Amino acid sequence: MTQALLREIIDYANRANPYPLYEELRKTPVSHDGDGPYVVSTYYEIHSLLHDPRISSDAKNLKATGDDLLGEQSDEEGTTLPPSFLKLDPPDHDRLRRMTNRPFGPPHAPRRVHDMRDELGTLVSGLIDGIVETGQLDRIDLVDQFAYPFPVSVICRLLGIPREDEPRFHVWAEALAASLDPDPDADPTKRGQGAMDARMELGMYLAGLIEERRKKPGDDMLSQLATADGPDGAMTTMEALSTSALLLIAGHETTVNLITNGMLTLLRHPEVLQRLRNDPDLAIPIVEELLRYEPPVQLLPQRTTLSDIEVAGVTIPKGASVWLMLASGNRDPKRFENPDRFDPDREDIQHLGLGSGIHSCFGAPLARQEAQLALSELARRLENPRLLEDPPPYRQNSVLRGPRHLPIACDGIRP
Amino acid sequence: MTSTGTHDGSLEQLKREGRIVVVGASLAGLRAAETMREKGFAGSLTMIGDEPYEPYDRPPLSKQVLLGNAVADHTALPRRRAIDADWRLGVPATGLDMAARRVELGNGDAVEYDRLLIATGVRARPWPNAEEGALKGVFVLRTRDDGEGLQRALAAGPRRVLVIGAGFTGSEIASACRERGLDVTVAERGDAPLVGALGGVIGAVAAEMNRENGVDLRTGVMVTSLEGDPSGRVRAAHFSDGSTVEADVVVVSLGAQRNTEWLSGSGLGAGPRGIACDAGCRAFDVRGIVTDDIYVAGDVARSPHALFGYQFLSLEHWGNAVAQADTAAHNMLSVSADRRPHLWVPAFWSSQFGVNIKSVGVPPMGTEILITQGSLAERRFAAAYGYQGRLIAAVTFDNCRWLPFYEQQIEATAPFPPPFSTVDRRPEGTKPMPADFPDPSVPTHGPTITLSGYSPADRKMTFTPGR
């Protein structure tokens, strides 16, 4: 039953609207059958597991199971990169995350994200001006022409990746993001090989860059990761490599999807789009509600129990694989009134869109700022925008879910 | 007229045209007033406060304000909504006539009520010698004026600051002084800072934290007297071990006293340990009978908590003030069947020497402690407190994201020591040790009750408030 439902969720045919399947899933807060994962789909249960120290993010603690929906588990083994802090537990996770945070956020760098605002504004304006220059307003692909290049440029600027190398990153990032997708029909060997190659090439490229920055540091994050020597000491080259690869990948697909899901939702709710046009500050609550309503990360498929844990009357045994269905928890009617309604005026919106607990989204402040700026500028500049396909074609990925293309048209673009 | 009809009718009437008086215009009073309006109370609302200011937030006073990063008069509490109240600020309440349902004010006025909420909170315990306490340069820290005065004194660059008492407030003050580059001595009667709140095991970590940050920490000593110069300014303090410390700023941080004196003789169950109330925030009178028109919330309240053996807890916690105010306001406007108990799990936070400290549950109830995650030596850990085989509290140093888990375990009366493995469990986290709280001193200054009379009809109780 669970397996069947999970397969349906992963099935590409249901990508455009998985929410009725989540609703079905929530009838059993913790569901499990056969050798599959324990799937947790209700808000409070997910939230408490995200704060539960008996849950590990380290795949080493996973008991090997026969029928593995993810196709492969040890996608990082055998490559040159050690696991990033996303896949580590404390104390290693805490140390690496802390060291990464030093150049990125408070208390040591409280202004890093804020100070990027002007640069983000310039990037957004440039991309929208680029759409004007094509002269084709009757068919704009908002993904290729805006939502994808924007965060990619931002993460490259943040890390200090030379602009001319950006295109190579797209290829690597796409291959790596694809490897996170539990697609049962894809050829796991082939996909694993692709991801491994991409990771290898990316690693070698970053290693070269880190070596350069050690000799001649700038004020970009890569320099700071490469040369930092705070209370936690310095990062090894391997740690700096896996951390910067993580920032790069996590900074890629997620924000693209947040912006694209956001525009899609706004075009489906023209009255909200109109309000945003008149009041750019509305972007703040709109983005929060989007993170609840259409979260870019739909589920976390890589947690493991260190002990037997009782959740909602079900005992999850030690060493089991646990999937936390964030997007389903976000639509749990026990937590949110009218959960299937997109309502930017919603109060008390503590969603799971950015996770919670020690692994909560590292890049959240940047992602929020990017999405707020992108959506309010698109709302302001596009005249009479409309969807050309609803639903639009989606990416294969069921974990990092979002449209592959978002074809829209508009009557003009304001200066 | 049926009794239900009467009850509902009178409640409707109360909501429509009743008179509610809130004594105490701080966090709890304000939040309660907001909740009452949210619940549709349309009658008259009077807010009485002895300070001349509208409700303000206190946590910044011992943190950002002392560092000079925030200004004391900019800490006004944000309003959730308009409350349309008659504000009586700068006037203390001086008496309560329970029979006439009337609050007397310091300016001779009186205000009548149908429902009364008491949220008068606590004040800083002053230096016991009034003359010494009045020396220039001697401070306590509780109010906005205190915060502003102390901030100015610190900004003037004193040669040394002496903090008397190493509880949370004292430790935060010492931390702020060090951050400003000031020399600071901390005098603590116990064996370590924070020992009363968190026990000796954690106290030892706090002591190390103080010393590593350059605090001259003296434990196991008392300050016996403060000495002034001829101009009436403090210049030195004498210690019980015979030593003397020269300081030109002294901060007396000896805990708090509950603001209940104005209720003496009123017949309400109020004393130095607070105002006793039931779990629904209804105050007890001195006979132990619950009132139905007088409610209590915030630091001044003492209420039984089902989760902690129905112990009467009085909590000086920000979160408690908000939650209890909400419950009190709800119950004041509800029929008995709709009333809610105040079941907030105690929680507080502190920030000192760059470390974020958070706690849930009631640590001083704990007899044992176990470092469940992280390590004391790294000053980054989660520790669980055990009481008779169950988990009763937890504290984290720079590890607060795990705290909700421990709160849930406490709520579920989970066993102690915890029978499960966790991430980041170190060798030191395998065996519980004594939590090492100081022997409970003998609080003999409580109120007394004497009984007189023989037959049940003329049996009388006399209440004598504590010292």
- Residue B329 CA to residue B47 CA, distance in Å, equals 14
Q: Per-residue pLDDT tens for B174-185?
A: 999 999 999 999
The pTM assigned to this predicted structure is 0.90
- Do B328 and B344 contact (CB within 8 A), yes or no? no
pLDDT for residue B456 = 66
Structure-block tokens of residue A402: 């979002």
Asked if B402 lies within 8 A of A357 by C-beta distance, the reply is yes
Instruction: Please calculate the CA angle B201-B207-B211 and round it to the nearest 5 degrees.
Output: 155
Asked if B420 lies within 8 A of A48 by C-beta distance, the reply is no
Q: Per-residue pLDDT tens for A369-388?
A: 999 999 999 999 999 999 99
Mean of the pLDDT values across residues A28-44? Answer: 94
pLDDT for residue A248 = 84
Closest approach of B31 to chain A, Cα-based (Å): 17
B421 vs A contacts (CB less than 8 Å) = 54, 306-307
pLDDT for residue A252 = 78
Structure-block tokens of residue B16: 């429509």
CA-based diameter of chain B, in Å?
76
- Quick check: B8 pLDDT over 70? no
Confidence of residue A184 (pLDDT cuts 50, 70, 90): low
Confidence of residue B347 (pLDDT cuts 50, 70, 90): very high
Which of A 43-62 lie inside 8 A of B, CB atoms? 47-48, 51-56
Interface check for A357 against chain B (CB to CB < 8 A): the answer is yes
Q: Per-residue pLDDT tens for B81-93?
A: 999 999 999 999 9
Structure-block tokens of residue B186: 């901390």
Mean of the pLDDT values across residues B19-30? Answer: 97
Closest approach of B426 to chain A, Cα-based (Å): 10
The closest CB to that of A306, out of B402, B419, B421, belongs to: B421
A351: helix, strand or coil? coil
- Do A188 and A72 contact (CB within 8 A), yes or no? yes
Can you tell me which residue has the tokens 């739909």? A298
Asked if A53 lies within 8 A of B372 by C-beta distance, the reply is yes
Percent of chain B with pLDDT over 70: 93
- Residue B12 CA to residue B25 CA, distance in Å, equals 26
Closest approach of A346 to chain B, Cα-based (Å): 15
A230 vs B contacts (CB less than 8 Å) = none
**ipTM of predicted complex:** 0.88
Cα end-to-end span (Å), chain A: 54
Mean per-residue pLDDT of chain B = 92
- Residue B430 CA to residue B421 CA, distance in Å, equals 10
Can you tell me which residue has the tokens 């303000």? B56
- Quick check: B358 pLDDT over 60? yes
Percent of chain B with pLDDT over 90: 84
Which residues make Cβ contacts (< 8 Å) with residue B223, sequence separation at least 6? B162, B164, B187, B237, B238, B239, B240
Q: Per-residue pLDDT tens for A291-334?
A: 999 999 999 998 999 999 999 999 999 999 999 999 999 999 99
pLDDT for residue A142 = 97
pLDDT for residue A182 = 64
Instruction: Please provide the DSSP assignment of A134-170 as one string.
Output: H---SSEEHIIIIITHHHHHHHHHHHT--GGGHHHHH
Which residues make Cβ contacts (< 8 Å) with residue A111, sequence separation at least 6? none
Interface check for B380 against chain A (CB to CB < 8 A): the answer is yes
Confidence of residue A402 (pLDDT cuts 50, 70, 90): very high
Asked if B405 lies within 8 A of A89 by C-beta distance, the reply is no
pLDDT for residue A121 = 97
Confidence of residue A166 (pLDDT cuts 50, 70, 90): confident
Asked if B423 lies within 8 A of A307 by C-beta distance, the reply is no
Q: Per-residue pLDDT tens for B443-461?
A: 433 445 566 667 667 777 6
Instruction: Please provide the DSSP assignment of B170-233 as one string.
Output: HHHHHHHHHHTT--EEEEESSSSTTHHHHHHHHHHHHHHHHHHTT-EEEES--EEEEEE-TTSB
pLDDT for residue B445 = 38
Asked if B380 lies within 8 A of A94 by C-beta distance, the reply is yes
Instruction: Give, in order, the Cα–Cα distances in Å from B344 to each of A27, B25, B313, B341, B362.
Output: 30, 22, 11, 9, 12
Burial class of A143 by CB neighbour count within 10 A (0 to 12, 13 to 18, 19+): buried
B15: helix, strand or coil? helix
- Quick check: B368 pLDDT over 50? yes
Mean of the pLDDT values across residues B368-396? Answer: 97
Q: Per-residue pLDDT tens for B181-210?
A: 999 999 999 999 999 999 999 999 999 999
Mean of the pLDDT values across residues A88-101? Answer: 95
| Nearest C-alpha neighbor of B318 from the set B302, B300, B299, B304 | B299
Mean per-residue pLDDT of chain A = 90
Interface test mutation site (partner A, options B423, B424, B425, B426, max chain A beta carbons within 10 A) = B423
- Residue A217 CA to residue A210 CA, distance in Å, equals 9
Q: Which spans in A13-148 are helix H?
A: 19-26, 43-50, 92-101, 112-115, 117-134, 142
Interface check for B420 against chain A (CB to CB < 8 A): the answer is yes
pLDDT for residue B176 = 97
B354 vs A contacts (CB less than 8 Å) = 107
- Residue A228 CA to residue A204 CA, distance in Å, equals 21
Mean of the pLDDT values across residues A96-118? Answer: 92
Which residues make Cβ contacts (< 8 Å) with residue B283, sequence separation at least 6? B118, B268, B269, B270, B275, B276, B277, B290, B291, B294, B295, B296
Asked if B401 lies within 8 A of A91 by C-beta distance, the reply is no
Structural Rg of chain A based on CA atoms: 21
Instruction: Give, in order, the Cα–Cα distances in Å from A205 to each of A76, A166, A202, A244, B312.
Output: 17, 12, 5, 11, 64
Q: Which helix (H) or strand (E) holds A278?
A: helix A270-278
Query: Given its phi and psi angles, is residue B235 left (phi above 0), alpha (psi -120 to 50 degrees) or beta?
Result: alpha
Confidence of residue A199 (pLDDT cuts 50, 70, 90): confident
pLDDT for residue B377 = 95
pLDDT for residue A70 = 47
- Do B198 and B286 contact (CB within 8 A), yes or no? no
- Do B436 and B201 contact (CB within 8 A), yes or no? yes
Confidence of residue A228 (pLDDT cuts 50, 70, 90): confident
